[in-house]
C-alpha cells in the first residue's frame, strides 16, 4: 500500500492543476445541487420493531386523514392574579384566539378548552391544542407566524400565553463558538508549523472536504429524509478529521524535506507513510460510524452514514489535494527543523566565542523525547496514575440516567419550556407526557366491550391521573384512549406505568384477541432508550472486533491492538462520567451553557462508543505506526517508543488540541443534543489523546518490551502485508531521488 500511495502522492504533486481542479469542480457541483435542492421534508423519528412504532402505524392505517405525524402545538393560557379562565372576559379572549388559530391553511383542527376539558381544576390555566396537516419540519413560516401572532393578541388582552409542542421546532444554531474553534485550530497549526502557508493547507483542505460533504447532504436531504442534525454532525467530525489528516501528511512532508529529499519525492513519501496511517485511521472511523446501522434506528443510521462519507472524502482529499497544494506552495513550506538548524549555526558561532550554554540549548531533546524517556524509566507509576485518574473520572457514569429531550429540558427562556411549566402547574407533571393507548379490536367479536374493559383495567393501575373515554374510528374496530400519568414524562414511575399498561394489554389479548399498544412521545422515548441499551453490546462487539482485526493487520501484533481497545474503553467511560457530571448533575453547567439538567440523551452512550472509538484509533495509528517503523528498522523496543514520541508527540498533541477545539465549538449550539455531543467528544479526545495515548500507551509498551510486537508465525504468514512502515519505498525512493526531482516514468503513472 505504501508504494501505491507514494506514486499517488507524486502524481498529485506533479498534476496539481488537474487534482485541484477536480476537487474545486466537485465542490462547485455539490454547491449547485444544494442551492437547487428542495427543503428537507418529513424527518419523523421512526423506530422499527418497537411497540410504540407499531401503534403509530396502526393509527396511520385506521385513522386516515388524522395527520398522526403532523405537527402539534399547545397554546397555554393563564389568567391574571385573582381571576379565573372561566370568567366571561377571559373566555371571550380564548375563543377569539381559537377562532384565529383555526384560519390557518395548514391547520387540521383546533380544540376549544371549554368544550374539550382543557381547563384546570382551579380554573387558572387552560390550553387549546392545534394539530397541523404537515410535520414540524414541513410547516411553513407563515403558519408559525400566525400561531405566534394569535398568542401575542391574547397577551395584549391581558392573559399570560405560552406555546409548547413541535410546531415551533427550528433548525438548531451552533453559535459563534464554532468559529472560535476553527480559530483555535488555526493558531495551533501556526504554532506547530511556524508558517502561515503550512498552517493554512490543513484548514483549506478540511473546509473543502466539509463543504463537499455538507453540500451533498443538503442536496440529498429531501430525497433521503435527512434531519438538520445530520449536517451538523458531518461538519463536526469532518472538520476535526480533515484538519488532523492533512496535518499529519504536511508534518511528514516537512520531515522528509529535512532529510534532504526533493519536494516531489518528499510529497510521495509523506503520502506513502503518513498517508497509509491516514487510510487505516479513516477506516476505523468509517467502520464505527457505519456500524451505527446495527442499532436499526433510521435517523441514527443516516447520521452515521452521512458522517462516514464526509470522513471518506477527508481521507481522499488528504491523499491527493494536500500534495497538490504542497506543489503550489513550493519553498513557502519549509523543512522541519530549519529554525533549529539556524540555532545550531548560532550555537557553533557562540561556541567559538566561548558561549557553551547556547550549544547545550541547541542539542536539548524536544519535549516529546523527554516525556517518552520519563515514561520508559517509570512505566508502572505512569500506568497506575493514568488508570486511576480515568477511573475516578468515570465514577459519575454509574449514576447514568437515559432519556430523550422534551420541552421540559428546554431553557427557561423559551416559550416551549414556560408552556411546559404552566401545564405542570395547572394539570400535573404527567400532563406533559400523555400516553396514547391504541386498542386494535379488529379480530374481536365485541369491540365496544373490549374498549370498555381496556379503559377499566388501565384505571385500576397505579400512577394514573385520568383515562379518557375510548375514541373509535369510523369502522368501529380500533380506538384510542388517552392516559395521563401522575409523574413527569422522564420519570421511572411513568416508565413503569407504560410497562404495566402493556402487561394489562397482554391479559386483554388473551381474553378477547384484541391488541393493546401504547404509543405517544413518552412511550416512544422509553422504547428508544430500551432499544439503544439492547444494541450497545452487539454494536460494541462488532465495531471493536472489526477494528481489532484491522489493527492486527496494521501493527502485526496481538497485544498492541488489545491495549488500544482497552485504552479506548477507559477513555470513553471517563468521558461518559464527565457528561453525567455536567448535564445530569449540573457541575460547571453555567460555564457550559447548560440551563436545564436532566437525563442524558439516550443515544449518547452508543454514539460516543462509535465516534470516540474511531477517533481514538486515529491517534493510536499515527503514534504507534512511527514506533513500529522504528522497531522494524532495528531499534530496541524502548528506543522505538522514544523515537515514536520524538517524531509524533508534537503533531499528535496539536491534532488533539485542534480536534478538541472543533468539537468544543459546538457546545454553543442551541440544540441540547448537539451541545452534549460536542462536549462529550471534546472531553473524550482529551482523555484519550493526553492520558491514554500519551501516558498509558508508552507505559504499557515499555513494560511489554519485545512481547508487544509478538505475532504467531502462522498468523504472520496468513495476514496481508500492507507495508504501513514504508519498507517498499526504499528502492522506489532511491530511484526517484536519482532523477533529481524529475517525474516518475510513464509506467509508474499508468500503474497509478
Tell me if 166 sits within 8 A of 72, measured CB to CB: yes
| pLDDT tens digits for range 654-684 | 888 888 887 887 787 767 777 888 899 899 9
pTM of the entire predicted model: 0.77
Average pLDDT over residues 295-305: 82
pLDDT for position 358? 45
Q: How far apart are CA 38 and CA 278, in angstroms?
A: 35
Compute the chain's Rg from CA coordinates.
31
The answer to which of 47-61, 428-442, 550-564, 736-750 has the lowest mean pLDDT is: 736-750
User: Burial level of 143, CB count in 10 A (0-12/13-18/19+)?
Assistant: buried
- b/e sequence 312-328, b meaning 16+ C-beta within 10 Å: bbbbbbbbbbbbbbbbe
- Residue 475: pLDDT band by 50, 70, 90 thresholds? confident
Average pLDDT over residues 304-320: 91
Q: Nearest CA to 332 among 193, 524, 167?
A: 193
The answer to which of 4-13, 85-94, 170-179, 502-511 has the lowest mean pLDDT is: 170-179
- Residue 349: pLDDT band by 50, 70, 90 thresholds? low
| pLDDT tens digits for range 452-468 | 999 999 999 988 988 88
- In order of 484, 539, 573, 582, 740, the CA distances from 398 in angstroms are 31, 20, 10, 14, 62
Task: Flag whether pLDDT at 109 surpasses 80.
Answer: yes
Q: Nearest CA to 529 among 428, 405, 700?
A: 405
Q: How far is CA 555 from the centre of its chain?
A: 28
| pLDDT tens digits for range 545-573 | 887 888 888 888 899 888 888 888 899 89
Q: Which three cell numbers stand for residue 643?
A: 523515537
Q: DSSP per residue over 189-244, as a string?
A: HHHHHS-HHHHHHHHHHHHHHHHHHHHHHHHHHHHHT--HHHHHHHHHHHHHHHHH
- Residue 85: pLDDT band by 50, 70, 90 thresholds? very high
Q: How far apart are CA 716 and CA 462, in angstroms?
A: 63
* Averaged confidence pLDDT in the chain: 82
User: How many CB atoms are closer than 10 A to CB 459?
Assistant: 11
The answer to which of 266-270, 333-337, 493-497, 633-637 has the lowest mean pLDDT is: 333-337
Task: Flag whether pLDDT at 606 surpasses 80.
Answer: yes
pLDDT for position 748? 41
- Residue 332: pLDDT band by 50, 70, 90 thresholds? confident
Tell me if 197 sits within 8 A of 329, measured CB to CB: yes
Q: How far apart are CA 671 and CA 410, in angstroms?
A: 9
Task: Flag whether pLDDT at 43 surpasses 60.
Answer: no
What are the phi and psi torsion angles at 227 (to 5°)? -80, 170
| pLDDT tens digits for range 203-246 | 888 889 889 988 888 887 766 666 666 777 788 788 888 888 89
- In order of 60, 114, 416, the CA distances from 524 in angstroms are 16, 30, 20
Q: Which is it for strands 160-164 and 72-78: parallel, antiparallel or unpaired?
A: antiparallel
- Residue 79: pLDDT band by 50, 70, 90 thresholds? very high
Find cell 366571561 and name the residue.
Answer: 88
Q: Nearest CA to 567 among 368, 371, 391, 381?
A: 391
Q: Which three cell numbers stand for residue 223?
A: 430525497
Contacts for 446 with CB less than 8 Å, ≥ 6 apart: 512
Tell me if 719 sits within 8 A of 659, measured CB to CB: no
| pLDDT tens digits for range 177-206 | 567 777 887 888 888 777 788 888 888 888
Tell me if 92 sits within 8 A of 112, measured CB to CB: no
Tell me if 402 sits within 8 A of 495, measured CB to CB: no
Task: Flag whether pLDDT at 359 surpasses 50.
Answer: no
Q: Which is it for strands 600-601 and 402-403: parallel, antiparallel or unpaired?
A: parallel
Tell me if 311 sits within 8 A of 206, measured CB to CB: no
User: How many CB atoms are closer than 10 A to CB 636?
Assistant: 12
Q: Determine what percent of the chain is predicted with pLDDT higher than 90.
A: 23
User: Burial level of 109, CB count in 10 A (0-12/13-18/19+)?
Assistant: middle
Tell me if 305 sits within 8 A of 213, measured CB to CB: no
- Residue 162: pLDDT band by 50, 70, 90 thresholds? very high
Tell me if 406 sits within 8 A of 433, measured CB to CB: yes
Q: Is 297 left (phi over 0), alpha (psi -120 to 50) or beta?
A: beta
Task: Flag whether pLDDT at 11 surpasses 90.
Answer: yes
Helices 521-555 and 492-512 cross at an angle (nearest 10°) of 110
| pLDDT tens digits for range 112-147 | 898 877 899 899 999 998 888 776 666 788 888 888
Q: How far apart are CA 519 and CA 539, in angstroms?
A: 26
Higher pLDDT, 718 or 722: 718
Q: How far apart are CA 195 and CA 199, in angstroms?
A: 6
Tell me if 55 sits within 8 A of 137, measured CB to CB: no
The answer to which of 39-43, 83-87, 322-326, 640-644 has the lowest mean pLDDT is: 39-43
Enter the DSSP assignment of 439: E
Average pLDDT over residues 324-348: 69
Q: Which is it for strands 471-472 and 402-403: parallel, antiparallel or unpaired?
A: unpaired
User: How many CB atoms are closer than 10 A to CB 100?
Assistant: 17
Half-sphere exposure of 718 (CA within 13 A, CB side): 8
Task: Flag whether pLDDT at 42 surpasses 70.
Answer: no
Query: Per DSSP, what are the bridge partners of residue 305?
Result: none
The answer to which of 17-26, 400-409, 570-579, 648-657 has the lowest mean pLDDT is: 400-409
Q: Which three cell numbers stand for residue 118?
A: 382543557
- Residue 726: pLDDT band by 50, 70, 90 thresholds? low
pLDDT for position 171? 52
Q: Nearest CA to 277 among 732, 734, 736, 723?
A: 723
Q: How far apart are CA 140 and CA 143, in angstroms?
A: 5
Task: Flag whether pLDDT at 752 surpasses 50.
Answer: no
pLDDT for position 747? 39
Contacts for 738 with CB less than 8 Å, ≥ 6 apart: none
Tell me if 408 sits within 8 A of 598, measured CB to CB: yes
Amino acid at each position: 500500500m505504501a508504494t501505491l500511495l507514494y506514486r499517488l502522492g507524486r502524481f498529485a504533486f506533479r498534476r496539481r492543476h488537474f487534482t485541484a481542479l477536480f476537487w474545486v469542480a466537485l465542490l462547485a457541483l455539490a454547491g449547485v445541487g444544494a442551492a437547487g435542492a428542495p427543503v428537507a421534508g418529513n424527518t419523523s423519528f421512526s423506530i422499527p420493531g418497537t411497540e410504540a412504532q407499531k401503534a403509530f402505524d396502526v393509527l396511520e392505517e385506521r385513522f386516515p386523514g388524522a395527520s398522526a405525524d403532523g405537527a402539534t402545538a399547545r397554546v397555554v393560557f393563564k389568567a391574571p392574579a385573582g381571576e379565573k379562565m372561566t370568567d366571561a372576559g377571559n373566555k371571550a379572549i380564548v375563543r377569539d384566539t381559537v377562532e384565529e388559530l383555526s384560519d390557518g391553511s395548514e391547520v387540521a383542527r383546533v380544540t376549544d378548552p371549554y368544550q374539550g376539558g382543557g381547563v384546570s381544576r382551579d380554573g387558572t390555566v387552560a390550553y387549546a391544542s392545534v394539530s397541523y396537516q404537515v410535520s414540524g419540519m414541513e410547516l411553513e413560516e407563515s403558519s408559525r407566524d400566525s400561531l405566534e401572532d394569535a398568542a401575542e393578541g391574547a397577551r395584549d388582552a391581558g392573559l399570560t400565553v405560552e406555546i409548547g409542542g413541535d410546531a415551533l421546532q427550528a433548525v438548531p444554531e451552533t453559535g459563534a463558538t464554532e468559529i472560535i474553534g476553527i480559530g483555535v485550530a488555526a493558531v495551533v497549526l501556526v504554532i506547530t508549523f511556524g508558517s502561515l502557508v503550512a498552517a493554512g493547507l490543513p484548514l483549506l483542505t478540511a473546509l473543502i472536504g466539509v463543504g463537499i460533504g455538507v453540500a451533498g447532504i443538503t442536496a440529498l436531504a429531501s430525497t433521503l429524509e435527512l434531519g438538520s442534525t445530520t449536517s451538523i454532525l458531518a461538519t463536526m467530525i469532518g472538520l476535526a478529521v480533515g484538519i488532523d489528516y492533512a496535518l499529519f501528511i504536511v508534518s511528514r512532508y516537512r520531515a522528509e524535506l529535512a532529510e534532504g529529499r526533493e519536494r516531489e519525492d518528499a510529497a510521495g513519501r509523506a503520502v506513502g507513510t503518513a498517508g497509509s496511517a491516514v487510510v487505516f485511521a479513516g477506516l476505523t472511523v468509517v467502520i464505527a460510524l457505519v456500524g451505527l446501522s446495527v442499532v436499526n434506528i433510521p435517523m441514527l443510521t443516516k447520521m452515521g452514514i452521512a458522517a462516514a462519507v464526509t470522513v471518506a472524502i477527508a481521507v481522499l482529499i488528504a491523499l491527493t489535494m494536500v500534495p497538490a497544494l504542497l506543489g503550489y506552495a513550493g519553498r513557502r513550506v519549509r523543512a522541519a527543523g530549519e529554525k533549529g538548524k539556524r540555532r545550531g549555526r548560532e550555537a557553533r558561532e557562540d561556541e567559538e566565542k566561548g558561549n557553551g550554554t547556547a550549544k547545550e540549548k541547541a542539542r536539548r531533546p524536544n519535549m516529546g523525547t523527554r516525556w517518552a524517556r520519563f515514561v520508559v524509566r517509570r512505566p508502572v507509576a505512569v500506568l497506575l496514575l493514568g488508570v486511576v485518574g480515568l477511573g475516578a473520572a468515570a465514577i459519575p457514569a454509574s449514576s447514568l440516567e437515559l432519556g430523550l429531550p422534551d420541552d421540559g429540558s428546554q431553557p427557561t427562556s423559551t416559550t416551549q419550556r414556560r408552556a411546559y411549566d404552566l401545564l405542570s402547574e395547572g394539570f400535573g407533571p404527567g400532563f406533559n407526557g400523555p400516553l396514547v393507548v391504541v386498542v386494535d379490536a379488529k379480530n374481536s367479536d365485541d369491540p365496544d366491550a373490549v374498549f370498555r374493559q381496556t379503559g377499566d383495567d388501565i384505571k385500576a393501575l397505579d400512577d394514573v391521573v385520568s383515562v379518557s373515554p375510548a375514541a373509535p374510528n369510523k369502522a368501529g374496530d380500533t380506538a384510542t384512549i388517552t392516559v395521563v400519568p401522575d409523574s413527569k414524562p422522564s420519570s421511572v414511575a411513568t416508565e413503569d406505568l407504560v410497562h404495566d399498561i402493556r402487561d394489562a394489554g397482554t391479559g386483554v389479548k388473551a381474553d378477547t384477541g384484541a391488541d393493546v399498544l401504547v404509543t405517544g412521545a413518552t412511550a416512544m422515548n422509553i422504547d428508544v432508550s430500551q432499544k439503544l441499551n439492547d444494541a450497545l453490546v452487539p454494536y460494541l462487539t462488532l465495531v471493536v472486533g472489526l477494528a481489532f482485526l484491522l489493527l492486527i493487520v496494521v501493527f502485526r501484533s496481538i497485544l498492541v491492538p488489545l491495549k488500544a481497545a482497552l485504552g479506548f474503553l477507559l477513555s470513553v467511560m471517563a468521558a461518559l462520567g464527565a457528561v453525567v457530571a455536567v448535564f445530569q448533575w449540573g457541575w460547571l453547567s453555567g460555564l457550559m451553557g447548560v440551563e436545564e439538567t436532566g437525563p442524558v440523551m439516550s443515544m449518547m452512550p452508543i454514539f460516543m462508543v462509535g465516534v470516540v472509538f474511531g477517533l481514538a484509533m486515529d491517534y493510536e495509528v499515527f503514534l504507534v505506526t512511527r514506533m513500529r517503523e522504528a522497531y522494524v528498522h532495528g531499534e530496541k523496543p524502548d528506543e522505538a517508543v522514544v523515537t515514536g514520541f520524538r517524531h509524533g508527540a508534537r503533531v499528535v498533541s496539536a491534532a488533539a488540541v485542534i480536534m478538541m477545539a472543533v468539537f468544543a465549538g459546538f457546545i454553543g449550539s442551541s440544540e441540547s443534543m448537539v451541545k452534549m455531543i460536542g462536549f462529550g467528544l471534546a472531553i473524550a479526545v482529551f482523555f484519550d489523546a493526553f492520558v491514554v495515548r500519551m501516558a498509558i500507551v508508552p507505559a504499557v509498551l515499555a513494560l511489554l518490551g519485545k512481547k508487544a510486537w509478538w505475532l504467531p508465525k502462522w498468523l504472520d504468514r496468513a495476514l496481508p502485508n500492507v507495508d504501513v512502515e514504508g519498507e517498499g519505498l526504499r528502492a522506489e525512493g532511491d530511484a526517484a531521488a536519482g532523477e533529481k526531482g524529475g517525474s516518475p516514468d510513464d509506467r509508474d503513472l499508468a500503474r497509478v
